[in-house]
Amino acid sequence: MSNANTFTTELTPEVRANRKSQYPVSPAFLNRWSPRAFSDRSVSDQDLNTILEAAHWAPSSYNDQPWRFIVAKTDEQLQVFHEILNEFNRSWASKASVLLVVASDKLRANGDPNGAHAFDAGAAWGYIALQASLLGIASHAIGGFDREKARTLLNVPDQYELHAVIALGYQGDAAQLPDGLREREVPNTRVDLNQVVFEGKVKP
């Protein structure tokens, strides 16, 4: 069983073959990528709770901790989550052993609007992805799902905004993927840093 003391500290072979950072960063950041092929190996409750615990330590405005996680891990729960995915994403994400919805509370404890709720929930998703990767567990964020159907089926109150469905599981064989996805099952790269960083002000 994986545990928090067995983190990967070296680049995996598939990452080494496809990714190179311009500046030195921890291998944890490069090793994290978003596969679509999942095996039938289950994620243990211990590892799932470790991933969620890491997410709960993300930074948030005024420490409001607006993130909310709705988790499906039993066959019955997963079947409901499969219903909210669009057809394309269901074709591969239905193999993941855990699906979870990342949502955020739009209101602060005193009822005031929280303008940072989505930003903070994004930070929590980043922590999910990194902690999962450190445990050897793959994650993939899915934006293609029926939010209104999810709100109804999962009993989500109006004050929660639904952001993404996260597929969690152990990486499987790319050969099981539908046509058109197999060749994309490699770690992607990034544009040059100078294309996204502006010093002083944005330049045309």
Structure confidence by residue, pLDDT tens digits, 148-201: 999 999 999 999 999 999 999 999 999 998 888 998 988 999 999 999 999 999
pLDDT tens per residue, range 109-152: 999 999 999 999 999 999 999 999 999 999 999 999 999 999 99
The one-letter code for the residue type at 30 is L
Rounded Cα gap, residues 102 and 122, in angstroms: 9
The pairs formed by 56-62 with CB atoms below 8 angstroms and a separation of 24 or more are 56/124, 57/127, 58/120, 58/123, 58/124, 58/126, 58/127, 59/120, 59/123, 60/116, 60/120, 60/123, 61/114, 61/115, 61/116, 61/119, 61/120, 62/108
Task: Work out the pLDDT band at 8, boundaries 50, 70, 90.
Answer: low
pLDDT tens per residue, range 140-150: 999 999 999 99
Average pLDDT of every residue of the chain: 94
pLDDT tens per residue, range 61-75: 999 999 999 999 999
Angle at Cα 31 formed by Cα 69 and Cα 143, nearest 5°?
40
Residue 99 has pLDDT above 90, yes or no: yes
Q: HEC string of 63-107?
A: HCCCEEEEEECCHHHHHHHHHHECHHHHHHHCCCCEEEEEEEECE
pLDDT tens per residue, range 17-33: 999 999 999 999 999 99
Q: Give the relative orientation of helices 117-134 and 45-56 as an angle to the nearest 10 degrees.
A: 140
- Give the pLDDT confidence score for residue 186 in this predicted structure: 87
Rounded Cα gap, residues 73 and 166, in angstroms: 12
Residue 1 has pLDDT above 60, yes or no: no
Rounded Cα gap, residues 166 and 32, in angstroms: 14
- Give the pLDDT confidence score for residue 5 in this predicted structure: 46
Strands 67-72 and 138-142: unpaired
Beta bridge mates, 140: 167
Mean pLDDT value across residues 26-52: 96
In order of start, what are the domains of the chain with their CATH numbers?
45-172 (3.40.109.10)
Mean pLDDT value across residues 4-9: 52
